[in-house]
């Protein structure tokens, strides 16, 4: 199975080096993130097993833009449904069925509705996948427990004012149970 390992190695994303701190509860991590941000870091990441309360506000993460994608694609799906039913039933091959007009809108509402929902739903998921850079092949894992019961902060080398020893000391001062140099 060497081939699969080679393929995985080839497709692996470019990882960045930096310093990570691990916390054992959600609250201390959110507080630590708030302090790290106050010290002027902007590119750091918080990693948690589930979506955390207040982390968006602590890290200054804006509200997700994805509802706009849903809205625009929902409108697009609606227009597609209108166009499809109109063009096939009234333009391309008009047939009188049930004595109804060619462009019999009430009978087309279910089709138009389903197209709206389908486009809206799939585009939202598409936007999520693109925005989060998924799928990623074998991304680096700081600590396997970060998807179970631990909470982590990662500060990359490229962040403004990064200094390995200072950052390590800062994370320890903020109560991290473990601090290590790693890549993410």
Binding residues for another protein, per CB under 8 A? Answer: 1, 4, 8, 13, 25-27, 33, 45-53, 55-56, 59, 61, 63-64, 66-67, 70, 84-85, 88-89, 92-93, 95, 97-98, 100, 104, 107-108, 110-111, 113-115, 117-118, 120-122, 124-125, 127-129, 131-132, 134-139, 141, 144-149
Q: How far apart are the first and last CA of the chain?
A: 26
- In eight-state DSSP terms, residue 160 is T
Least distance to another protein from the beta carbon of 173, Å?
Answer: 21
Least distance to another protein from the beta carbon of 155, Å?
Answer: 13
Contact partners, residue 153, CB within 8 Å, separation at least 6:
20, 21, 23, 29, 32, 33, 36, 44, 45, 46, 47, 171, 176
Least distance to another protein from the beta carbon of 47, Å?
Answer: 5
Least distance to another protein from the beta carbon of 85, Å?
Answer: 5
Closer to another protein by CB, 138 or 169: give it.
138
Question: β-strand 178-183 against 151-156: which pairing, if any?
Answer: unpaired
Closer to another protein by CB, 19 or 89: give it.
89
Closer to another protein by CB, 170 or 184: give it.
184
3-state SS string for 76-106: HHHHHHHHHHHHHHHHHCCCCCCCCCCCCHH
Considering Cα of 154, then 158, then 164, then 167, what sign does the dihedral take? Answer: negative
Measured CA to CA in angstroms, residue 62 lies from 2, 7, 55, 111 at distances of 43, 36, 11, 36
Q: Identify any residues that bridge with 182 across adjacent strands, giving them in sequence order.
A: 18
Least distance to another protein from the beta carbon of 60, Å?
Answer: 10
């Amino acid at each position: 199975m060497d081939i699969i390992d080679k393929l995985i190695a080839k497709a692996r994303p470019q990882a960045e080096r930096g310093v990570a701190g691990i916390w054992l509860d959600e609250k201390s991590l959110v507080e630590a993130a708030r302090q790290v941000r106050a010290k002027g870091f902007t590119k750091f990441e918080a990693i948690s097993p589930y979506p955390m309360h207040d982390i968006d506000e602590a890290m200054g993460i804006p509200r997700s833009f994805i509802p706009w994608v849903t809205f625009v694609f929902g409108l697009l799906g609606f227009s597609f449904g209108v166009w499809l039913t109109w063009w096939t039933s009234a333009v391309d091959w008009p047939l009188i069925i049930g004595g109804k007009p060619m462009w019999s809108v009430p009978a087309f509402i279910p089709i138009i509705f389903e197209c709206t929902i389908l486009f809206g739903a799939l585009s939202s998921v598409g936007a999520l996948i693109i925005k989060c850079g998924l799928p990623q092949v074998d991304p680096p894992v700081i600590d396997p427990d970060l998807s179970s019961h631990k909470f982590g902060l990662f500060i990359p080398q490229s962040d403004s004012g990064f200094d390995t020893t200072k950052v390590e000391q800062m994370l320890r001062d903020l109560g991290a149970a473990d601090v290590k140099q790693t890549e993410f």
